[in-house]
Amino acid sequence: MIDAVLFDVDGTLVDTNYLHATSWWQAFRQYGHTVPTASVHRAIGMGSDKLLDAVLPSGRDRSADDAISSAHGALYAQYWDRLAPFDGAADLLRACASRGARVILASSAAEPEMRALRAALGADDAIADATSASEVEESKPAPDLVELALRRAGVPADRAVFVGDTRWDVEAAARVGLPCVGVLSGGWARAELEEAGAAAVYDDVRALLDDLDASPLNR
């Protein structure tokens, strides 16, 4: 195994992307914005600051942005006790750890949300460390979160791999010099992740686990 595997969480390890999209859609409606849910989904994986700019008009009144983000957080929090990990997620984390790799969660979730995600995963015994949104200045596709996760792994970039589900994950990893393995469970197409530069693409984390010995996680 390589020395560290950095994992995105939403859409990669836990089935949350469409819950986020629905919560954002409702939050936008509360503040007078009608945004196609598909457009919201395409921005999932970005932090809230970048997501708002991606889906709302550039010339908008930005005074309500914080309130919209707070509304999204409150709506999404209703799902916390029902979050479901993808099949094989905990097994993959444990397989990496048992082979000597440091497992780091590189998520832009806020700390309370991160606790809910880790509870859903139920694999804290395999997780060496995790990031949260409050610890970096910029969210994906900026490299800040990946850089922080790599520092916490304590290994050089050529001894680590990132696993994510969106173009924003692939781009953020590339800016740090990390190969990114993509999974399709977040709703992005294989061709899109390959075009963005993913080193390999799997249907989901179960498929990655089944192919672990032949994957980029095992050199």
- 80-136: per-residue pLDDT in tens? 999 999 999 999 999 999 999 999 999 988 889 999 999 999 999 999 999 987 898
Percent of the chain with pLDDT strictly greater than 90: 88
Mean residue pLDDT across the chain: 95
Residue 121 identity (one-letter amino acid): L
Using CA atoms, how far apart are residues 49 and 67, in angstroms rounded to an integer?
12
List of residues 6+ apart from 114 with CB closer than 8 A: 9, 105, 107, 130, 132
Dihedral of alpha carbons 109, 86, 106, 151, sign: positive
Is residue 219 predicted with pLDDT exceeding 80?
A: no
Is residue 6 predicted with pLDDT exceeding 90?
A: yes
Q: Which is the CATH superfamily of the domain at 4-16+84-214? A: HAD superfamily/HAD-like (3.40.50.1000)
* Token pair 């790799």: residue: 101
Residue ranges per structural domain of the chain? 4-16+84-214, 17-78
Tokens of 128: 């060496």
Give residue-wise pLDDT tens across range 19-34. Answer: 999 999 999 999 999 9
Using DSSP, how many helices (H) and how many strands (E) does the chain show? 10, 6
Asked if residue 12 lies in contact with residue 164, where contact means CB atoms within 8 angstroms, the answer is yes
CA angle at residue 132 from 163 to 190, to 5 degrees? Answer: 25
The pLDDT value given to residue 177: 96
SS3 172: helix
Element at 26 (helix H, strand E): helix 17-30
The pLDDT value given to residue 132: 83
